[in-house]
Copies of this chain bind each other. A is one copy, B any other.
Amino acid sequence: MSLRLLLVDDDVLVRSGLRVILESEPDLTVVGDAGTGREALDAAARTDPDVVLMDVRMPDMDGIAATAELVARDPRRPRVLVLTTFEDDDYLFRSLQAGASGFALKRSDPDELVDAIRVVARGTSLVLPDLTRRLIASHAPSRARGAAALPELTGREADVLRLVAGGLSNAEIAGRMHLSRETVKTHVSGVLLKLGARDRTQAVIAAYESGFMTA
């Protein structure tokens, strides 16, 4: 029993491209497509798809609104996988809040996309790699509000973090601590790893949010 798909995108080229890719999978069938959110609602009602691949930016009702309407009609019948070219956090959050089951970039590998479709069809929500990381990054700051002590930093790492959070560069920290730049970098790297920070800015944020600075 094959999965019934509905493609929604205002760009005809994208629709036909997707169609070719998806139809080459034996267990997937494209049962319809639409170029606007409003058309998507009609098409969904007619074709009763398992999964809707939904673009975000569209004329005449965007993908978010269309998703919200589909979910309102029946929260479990057509699963919605939001598809966009933009690495746009705002869309991500709003899409999922509207009730989308997943979110993927158009630039992802065909394999990855097909994977995502099957997963979503099963009723499992997912967000592809990059986006997930971003989701977490943007949440991170509000995380440790009050509690959640920092992971076990070594003595030197804690010293370095204090100076990093004082706005000093690696060279300045080296001078202040009578160390070489390389050593400071080693410690900074250790701090970043343990705090799950991408750069010193995120480390400083973690330091403040965790109460490390006020303690």
Contacts and interface: CB of A to CB of B under 8 A. Distances in A.
A158 interface: no
B112 A116 contact: no
Given A97-B136, A167-B137, A125 B122 contact: no
A40 B186 CA distance: 26
Contacts of A126: 119, 124-127, 132
Interface of A: 65, 68, 72, 86-90, 93-94, 96-99, 101, 111-112, 115-116, 119, 122-129, 132-143, 148, 151, 164-169, 172, 175-176, 178, 193-194, 196-198, 200-202, 204-205, 208, 213
Contacts of A143: 90, 93
- Name the residue in A65, A90, A178 with the highest tally of chain B Cβ atoms < 10 Å from its Cβ: A90
Contacts of A204: 201, 204-205
A124 to B, nearest CB: 6
CB-based closest 6 A-B pairs: A97-B196, A126-B126, A167-B202, A125-B132, A125-B129, A89-B176
A68 B194 contact: yes
Nearest to A65: B151
B166 A96 contact: no
Given A112-B124, A137-B167, 4 more contacts: A87-B175, A90-B143, A140-B167, A201-B204
Nearest to A92: B136
Contact of A115 (B93, B119, B197): B119
A175 B122 contact: no
A99 B138 CA distance: 15
Nearest to A208: B208
